[in-house]
């Protein structure tokens, strides 16, 4: 984990299951496929928008990675944050919503059941007994014993988990079921803030359809990105990390220089908004620019127009029905026609 005075510079993103381990399943889906797509999208959002962060994946293809190896990848790369992405299942087709977990003592049978399902991946591992000792998938006592090895960064793990749940609710408009603790082998030996995210229930037909869609996967990945960004910003502010000298800050956004970017314009006013966070609650990465006598407010900073379009759709769901995509060059609004000559290959 980054020490006092240092930055959060490396994240390991873990797509749950893979290869011979399909994970949970719905009528039309497999957990391993959805987690991989969301993990790769999350990594792209971070790489494109947080240039000072190195993104490492435990897997980028449909391969099986033992649980212990996932934690090992994070530890060996001295990661500052570890996020493991999963999908849930339930005997009831009515269960829906996202949950976030950190390692600790389970408080309900439902929490224990989630851990049991995710830990079943060790059935696909060779020499599991050698790796996990006396751990018994079906023994509640084994999970209690796991909780004794709580991550030294528990409070930070809980904060990141709460940030993720908050973004699921405010950014993706999903049901956030809350933050819980349980004994997950994938988190057991990590040495940094670590969170396991359950995106939703594949056993709920409506939610399965959402999780299978590009729209759903993009919204969820972007929500986790926003939560990670918030966590990173808070950590570095508390530990006196100075922002890059070339950066200028508007609200909570570091605006990059000398590049083409897309934003979502959603509000305009003759008077400058005094409290942006209160006025635009639930809208992230807000900036403004002046045009004539108007203050015009935008959200997001994107390298690709399709990402801006996805975010425009989210902004419209928050009540800003006239939101539209605009393009900037070096923080100056330009036309789409003018932007063409700055695109790659032009």
| Residue among 16, 206, 9, 1 at smallest CA distance from 101 | 16
Please report, for the chain, the start and end positions of each structural domain, with discontinuous segments joined by +: 10-238, 248-342
The pLDDT tens digits of the residues spanning 113-126 come to 887 778 777 887 78
For residue 26, what pLDDT band results from cuts at 50, 70 and 90? very high
pLDDT band at 245 (very low <50, low <70, confident <90, very high): very low
Report pLDDT for 248: 38
Tokens, residue 314? 């989210």
Place of tokens 């690709």: 304
Q: Distance (Å, rounded) from C-alpha 70 to C-alpha 59? A: 9
CA dist list (Å): 166 to 86, 151, 265: 18, 22, 23
Which of 38, 50, 32, 49 has its CA nearest to residue 13?
38
pLDDT band at 88 (very low <50, low <70, confident <90, very high): very high
What's the whole-number mean pLDDT along residues 305-330? 85
Structure tokens at 9: 């510079």
Spatial distance between the Cα atoms of 110 and 85, rounded to a whole number of angstroms = 18
pLDDT tens for 164-182 read 999 999 888 899 999 998 8
Per residue in 54-77, pLDDT (tens digit) is 999 999 999 999 998 999 999 999
Q: Three-class SS of residue 186?
A: helix
Q: Give the distance, in angstroms, between the CA of residue 136 and the centroid of all CA atoms in the same chain.
A: 31
Dihedral pair phi/psi, residue 18, rounded to 5°: 125, 155
SS3 166: helix
Model confidence pTM above 0.75: no
Dist. CA 55–CA 14, nearest whole Å: 11
Q: Are 194 and 104 in contact (CB under 8 A)?
A: no
Residue 193's pLDDT band (boundaries 50, 70, 90)? very high
Q: Which CATH number fits domain 248-342: 3.30.70.1070, 3.40.50.1110, 3.40.50.1820, 3.90.400.10?
A: 3.30.70.1070
What is the pLDDT of the chain when averaged over all its residues? 84
Rounded to the nearest 10°, the torsion over CA 216, 220, 225, 226 is 100
Residue 152 has pLDDT above 90, yes or no: no
| CATH level 3 topology of 10-238 | Aminopeptidase (3.40.630)
CB atoms within 10 A of CB 5: 9
Length of the chain in terms of residues written = 346
């Amino acid at each position: 984990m980054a020490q006092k005075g240092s930055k959060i510079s490396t994240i390991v993103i873990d797509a749950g299951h893979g290869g011979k381990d399909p994970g949970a399943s719905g009528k039309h889906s497999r957990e391993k496929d959805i987690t991989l797509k969301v993990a790769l999208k999350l990594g792209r959002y971070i790489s494109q928008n947080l240039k000072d962060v190195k993104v490492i994946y435990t897997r980028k293809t449909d391969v099986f990675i033992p649980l212990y190896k996932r934690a090992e990848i994070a530890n060996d790369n001295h990661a500052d944050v570890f996020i493991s992405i999963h999908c849930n299942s339930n005997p009831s087709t009515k269960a829906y919503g996202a949950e976030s977990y950190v390692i600790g003592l389970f408080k309900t049978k439902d929490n224990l059941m989630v851990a049991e399902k995710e830990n079943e991946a060790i059935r696909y591992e060779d020499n599991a007994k050698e790796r996990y000792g006396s751990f018994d998938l079906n023994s509640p006592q084994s999970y209690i014993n796991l909780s004794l090895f709580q991550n030294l960064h528990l409070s930070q793990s809980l904060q990141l988990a709460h940030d993720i749940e908050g973004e699921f609710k405010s950014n993706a408009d999903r049901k956030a079921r809350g933050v819980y603790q349980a004994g997950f082998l994938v988190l057991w030996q990590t040495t940094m803030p670590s969170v396991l995210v359950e995106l939703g229930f594949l056993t709920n037909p409506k939610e399965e359809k959402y999780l299978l869609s590009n729209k759903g996967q993009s919204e969820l990945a972007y929500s986790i990105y926003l939560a990670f960004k918030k966590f990173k910003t808070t950590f570095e502010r508390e530990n006196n990390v100075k922002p890059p000298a070339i950066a200028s800050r508007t609200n909570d956004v570091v605006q990059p220089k000398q590049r083409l970017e897309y934003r979502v314009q959603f509000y305009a006013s003759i008077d400058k908004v005094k409290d942006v966070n209160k006025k635009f609650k639930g809208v992230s990465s807000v900036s403004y620019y002046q045009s004539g006598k108007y203050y015009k407010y935008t959200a997001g900073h994107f390298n690709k127009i399709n990402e801006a379009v996805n975010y425009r759709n989210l902004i419209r769901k928050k009540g800003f029905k006239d939101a539209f995509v605009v393009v900037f060059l070096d923080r100056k609004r330009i036309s789409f026609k003018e932007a063409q000559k700055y695109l790659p290959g032009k």
